[in-house]
């Protein structure tokens, strides 16, 4: 069995977050979703659990950061092309995301990012199948 990953993110408004990610083309698994959490399907092995802040807090004694002010991680997903990277970032911006930085083009790698409604940082990257140049 392939290893699965479940990224857990706190959200202030679950319905708004679900609507935002629906506009980016993602679906939700109703079997693992309710009024406190939604299981967003990225692929057959990658899922993002959007958890309301009070529900997220039940999993930790640590303070939950405001992702608009602090960052703990970046969620980075691959794309099939440079155009696919730009398409996803453009969809996100149209759905209400902010764009913190311009796209970066390293020749062998192209990346662009957005911050979702709760300030979580998402990167989309395309890498040349021939790989990075050797140094």
- Structure confidence by residue, pLDDT tens digits, 56-88: 999 999 999 999 999 989 999 999 999 999 999
Percent of the chain predicted with pLDDT > 70: 97
Say whether pLDDT at 130 is over 90.
no
Same domain, 50 and 84: no
* Helix, strand, or coil (residue 13): coil
Same domain, 30 and 69: no
pLDDT band at residue 1 under the 50/70/90 scheme? confident
Residue range 110-118: average pLDDT? 98
Same domain, 75 and 131: yes
Residues 33, 98: Cα–Cα separation, whole Å: 26
Average pLDDT, the chain: 95
Q: How many other β-carbons are positioned within 10 Å of the β-carbon of residue 115?
A: 17
**Between 14-23 and 82-94, two packed helices, what is the crossing angle to 10 degrees?**
140
- Give me the number of domains the chain comprises: 2
Say whether pLDDT at 135 is over 70.
no
Helices (H), 4-134: 14-23, 53-57, 82-94
* Helix, strand, or coil (residue 10): strand
Residues 27, 30: Cα–Cα separation, whole Å: 9
Same domain, 55 and 72: no
Same domain, 89 and 105: yes
Same domain, 74 and 93: yes
Residue positions counted in the chain: 135
pTM to 2 decimals? Answer: 0.90
> In the prediction, which pLDDT does 103 show?
98
**CA atoms within a 13 Å half-sphere pointing along the CA-CB vector of 104:** 12
Percent of the chain predicted with pLDDT > 90: 91
Same domain, 120 and 103: yes
Note the pLDDT tens digit of each residue in 36-48.
Answer: 999 999 999 999 9
pLDDT band at residue 132 under the 50/70/90 scheme? low
Same domain, 3 and 48: yes
* Residue 83 CB partners (closer than 8 Å, separation 6+): none
Same domain, 48 and 94: no
Same domain, 4 and 57: yes
Which CATH number covers residue 11?
3.10.180.10
- The neighbouring-strand residues paired with 122 are 75, 114
State the residue range of the domain holding 114: 65-135
Same domain, 39 and 13: yes
Pairing assessment for the beta strands 37-41 and 46-52 based on DSSP bridges: antiparallel
């Amino acid at each position: 069995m392939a290893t699965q990953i479940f990224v857990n993110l706190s959200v202030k408004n679950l319905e708004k977050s679900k609507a935002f990610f629906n506009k980016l083309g993602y679906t939700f698994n109703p079997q693992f979703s309710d009024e406190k959490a939604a299981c967003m399907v990225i692929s057959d092995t990658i899922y993002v659990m959007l958890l309301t802040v009070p529900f997220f807090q039940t999993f930790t004694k640590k303070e939950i950061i405001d992702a608009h002010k602090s960052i703990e991680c970046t969620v980075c997903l691959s794309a099939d092309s440079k155009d696919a990277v730009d398409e996803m970032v453009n969809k996100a911006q149209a759905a209400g995301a902010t764009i913190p930085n311009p796209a970066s083009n390293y020749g062998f790698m192209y990346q662009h990012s957005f911050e979702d409604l709760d300030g979580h940082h998402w990167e989309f990257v395309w890498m040349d199948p021939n790989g990075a140049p050797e140094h």
